[in-house]
Structure 1
Amino acid sequence: MKNEPLDQPAIIAGLKPLSNWQVSPEDGLPQVIEKNYIFKDFNAAFGFMGRVALMAERANHHPEFHNRYRQVTVRWATHSVGGITALDLEMAKICDHLAADSGLKA
C-alpha cells in the first residue's frame, strides 16, 4: 500500500533507480528523502517548483521546497505515517522527470 511506512531496505531499494536522492533525518519525522537540483537560472528553478506543485496538488501529497537562486532542494515524506512511503518514492521519480524538462544544469 502507498500509505504504509517503508523499512530501510525498501527505501534503499526504491531509491536505487533514482539519481542522487538521499535519506535524511528531519525534525519531527524519522526520515525524509531529499535531492538538490541545480538549474540553469532562477526562472528554470522556479518553473520546476511550479510544475512539481501542480503535480503535488493532483496527488494531494506535498513536498517541502528550499530555493536559493538556481538551486532547489525537494524533500518528500508522508507526515501522516511518520516516514517514507511508496508514494514518496513515486513523487521523487516524477520530480526527476520534471527536472529534466525544466532546464536542469548538466
Structure 2
Amino acid sequence: MSLGEMKCEPCRGGMPPLTDEEIEQYHRQTRSWSVIEKDGIKRLEKSFKFKDFAQALAFTNKVGELAEKEGHHPDILTEWGRVTVTWWTHKIKGLHRNDFIMAAKTDALAA
C-alpha cells in the first residue's frame, strides 16, 4: 500500500521518533520533500508554488481540511504565490510514519 492510501494512526507521547533508516525508507516515496532539522527536531518540508495569493490560500484550506480529517496538523506558511508545509509529530518531537503519509496526501492535493 502506498503512503497516500494509508490512514494516520493515533500517536502516543513517549514513542520514539523514526530512526534514520526508517526515515530513508519512507522518504523514498516522498522524495520531493526535504528532511530538515529545526530546533533539534527532524521535519518534512516542501514549498508549493501558485499563480497568486488566492490559489495559495485555496491550497492552504485544502491542506487544513485534510489535516482535520486525519487528525494530524502541520505548520503552514501561506504567502503570495507560495505555501510552505511542514510536517512532524509534536508529541514525539520528530518524524513518525504519519508525517510521510500526510506529505504524500499533500502532494496529491497539489496535483
- The reply to whether TM is greater than 0.5 is yes
Identity across the alignment (%): 34
Match in the other structure for 2:91: 80
1:59 Cα deviation from its structure 2 partner: 1.4
Match in the other structure for 2:35: 23
Match in the other structure for 2:23: 11
Q: What is the alpha-carbon root mean square deviation over aligned residues?
A: 1.7
Indicate yes or no: 2:81 matched with 1:93: no
Q: Structure 1 residue runs of 4+, over 6 Å off? A: none
TM-score w.r.t. the length of structure 2 is 0.81
Across the two proteins, how many residue pairs are aligned to each other? 99
2:99 maps to amino acid: D
Q: Any gaps of 5 or more consecutive residues in structure 2?
A: 1-7
Return 45-54 or 15-24, whichever deviates more: 15-24
2:97 maps to amino acid: A
TM-score w.r.t. the length of structure 1 is 0.84
2:27 maps to amino acid: L
1:28-75 deviation per Cα after TM superposition (whole angstroms, max 9, x unaligned): x52111001111221111111101101101111110011220111100
Q: Any gaps of 5 or more consecutive residues in structure 1?
A: 101-106
Pick from 70, 95, 99 the counterpart of residue 81 of structure 2: 70
